[in-house]
Structure 1
Amino acid sequence: MFGRVVVLVGLMLAGQANAMAPEASLRPNLRPAHALRVHEPELPQVRSVARPSVEAGPVLASAQTSSPGVAIATPGLRPVARPQAMVEQVLFKRRALRKTSVCGDIDIQGEAVGAVTGSLPGCGAKDAVRVRSISGVRLSTPSVMHCDLAKSLNRWVSKDVEKAFGRRNKVVSLRVAAHYACRTRNSRPGARISEHGKARAIDISGFTLEDGQTITVLEGWKQRRTRKKLRKIWKAACGPFGTVLGPDADRYHLDHFHLDVARHRGGAYCR
């Protein structure tokens, strides 16, 4: 009897529990839409700026803006075309220089002389030229020489002489002490024919600058402000020329540089 009572009570309690149970399983509540947003720093809005056309020309100054997020377009610069008149003037000048050039080099200005002869055996030269200027640097005296000498002189002047004295007060003229002359070495009786007698030597005694000042080998070789420059160009001549003689060589060359294109078995002879 007691057992039946217990069973009946259990069935009654189970029925109440089932009546209280929800019909469906519980779901988690959805979060509000604003709670799901991730808070990120706001980026400045960049406005696209139209690229200016090429016809607008170069812009000399860029616009300034206080807004850091605004992009500024800077068009590229176009090279300015040279006026046609200027181009024609340059071409005309080059054509004129080419007509008066010698030795096949526009930087060597002068005229053809042809064969030169002398009173002593061994003197003279074939196809000699008379040079007025070298790389824009005038010769104080138009000088007769062989093209080998003219080309060596051009190389020396354009690469070494101009650099030694600088371009602010550049060399505009070379003082020529001697060029072609039918004579013996140092004009001594019975000596061999000088390279001057073959149009293959030239003596330079000074350098005239753009401001009108002339630096002589005789004085400049001893002066503190010029001796370094003169020694530099004397040393640089040893290579383009076969023989280079200066004030330290002997008493015959105290006041000039002797430059010739003679060939020596042991290489260039420089004193």
Structure 2
Amino acid sequence: MRVWAGLLACLLAGPVSAQDVRPIARPVAAAAPVTVQTPDEKTVRPLMRGSMAAKLAGTPLRPVPRPYTRPDLAFGAQTRAIFRAEQNLFAFSPLALRQSMRPLLRPASIEAAAEERRIARLRGQVCDDPAIQGTTVGAVPGPGACGISSAVKVRSVAGVALSQQAMMDCRTASALKTWVERGVIPAVGGEGGGVAALRVVGHYSCRTRNHQPGARLSEHSFGRAIDIAGIRLRDGSEMTLLTDWNSDDDGAQLRQMWRAACGPFGTVLGPESDRFHRDHFHFDTARHRGGAFCR
């Protein structure tokens, strides 16, 4: 109604000049101040990149990791570098030690006894090997082609005694030691307390093969062979090839020893080779063109 009343008043008043027309001033609201959010100690989220607030603030802000404050060290902890386990580390345990504990010195009597045993081993060694104990014999002449140029009489190898001292050369003695270390001792293990001795039934002897008339000379004739019939354990029991080769108790172990001998020795004969070896191992260091002969 007010609009129509105004128009009617203008018509009644007559024509209006351009000078009489003035713009009507309207109230203009004041611009709201722009607030820029800046991170402070309570801010948990950074300003979003590309936002207006970030542009007004200048360089986009990123979160900065705050330095870690080390807590007070517990009682007994070490901070000096000389007492640290590693550089730039420190202990927090109250049980941390200032210095590592050291064992007490051994009594002089123990050291003296150990030195005596060492000297005795060196004095009893043959073939320049402390693990082979015996005496040096030297040249052993024999009838015909028999004999040993440089013989030793072995009483133990690798800490395992021989039931009788065996005459042989150093090459055979070294092969016997290797077999005991790699074959006999691992095969027996802890059974019966371990290996105590080898039952030797043949070593140097000027004879033919298998004592057969007209046969070739055996390797025993040159000090290159040894025959073993059983393994005695520390509890007094014994593994014998005659009774235990096919047994359920020790058969597998005796076969393991037989396989271990094939390599250190050039010839390995066991109970399954022929009737002459059904009760013992025959080992010799003869060289064969085709490698070790094992049966």
What SS does the corresponding residue of 1:150 show, helix, strand or coil? helix
Asked if 1:72 is matched to 2:94, the reply is: yes
- State how 1:106-145 maps to structure 2 within 5 Å: 106-119=130-143, 121-145=144-168
The residue that corresponds to 1:237 in the other structure is 261
* Offset at residue 46 of structure 1 (A): 4.0
What pairs with 1:59-208 in structure 2 (closer than 5 Å)? 71-75=93-97, 76-119=100-143, 121-167=144-190, 169-208=193-232
User: In 2, Cα distance between the equivalents of 1:72 and 1:37?
Assistant: 36
- Which amino acid is 2:141 matched to? T
Gaps of 5+ in 1: 1-35, 52-69
Distance 1:224 1:47 in 2: 64
One-letter code aligned to 1:71: S
1:167 is displaced (CA, Å) by: 3.6
Q: 2:76 aligns with which of 49, 54, 57?
A: 49
Secondary structure (helix, strand or coil) at the match of 2:291 reads coil
Identity, in percent, stands at: 47
- Do 1:125 and 1:146's aligned partners in 2 also have CA atoms closer than 8 Å? yes
Alignment of 1:263 onto 2:290: no
SS of the residue aligned with 2:167?
strand
Give the partner amino acid of 1:47. A
Q: Deviation at 1:44?
A: 7.4
Distance 1:208 1:193 in 2: 30
Structure 1 residues 49 and 195, CA gap change in structure 2 (3 angstroms): same
- Contact in 1 for aligned 2:204/2:223 (Cα 8 Å): yes
Report the Cα distance in structure 2 between the residues aligned to 1:230 and 1:186, rounded to whole angstroms.
Answer: 22
1:102-124 deviation per Cα after TM superposition (whole angstroms, max 9, x unaligned): 110111111111111223x2211
**Shift of residue 209 of structure 1?**
0.2
Q: Distance in 1 between matches of 2:93 and 2:275?
A: 77
Give the whole-Å Cα distance in 1 for the aligned partners of 2:226 and 2:158. 17
2:5 aligned residue: none
- Give the secondary structure class of the aligned counterpart of 2:262: coil
Bigger-Rg structure (1/2): 2
Answer whether contact 2:77 2:94 (CA < 8 A) is retained.
no
What's the RMSD between the two structures over aligned residues? 2.8
Q: Deviations over 1:61-105 (max 9, x none)?
A: xxxxxxxxx732332332343223212211111111111111101
Secondary structure of the equivalent of 1:225?
coil
What secondary structure, in the 3-state scheme, does the structure 2 residue paired with 1:262 have? coil
Q: Is the 8 A contact 2:74 2:94 kept in 1?
A: no
Letter in 2 for 1:166: G
Matched residue, 1:62: none
Kept in 2, the 8 Å contact 1:46–1:71? The answer is no
Q: Distance in 2 between matches of 1:77 and 1:167?
A: 35
Structure 1 SS opposite 2:139: strand
Query: 1-side partners of 2:259 and 2:104: how far apart?
Result: 44
Normalising by structure 1, report the TM-score: 0.74
Note the C-alpha offset of 1:243: 0.3
Count residues in correspondence.
220
**TM-score, normalization by structure 2:** 0.69
Q: Is the 8 A contact 1:118 1:124 kept in 2?
A: yes
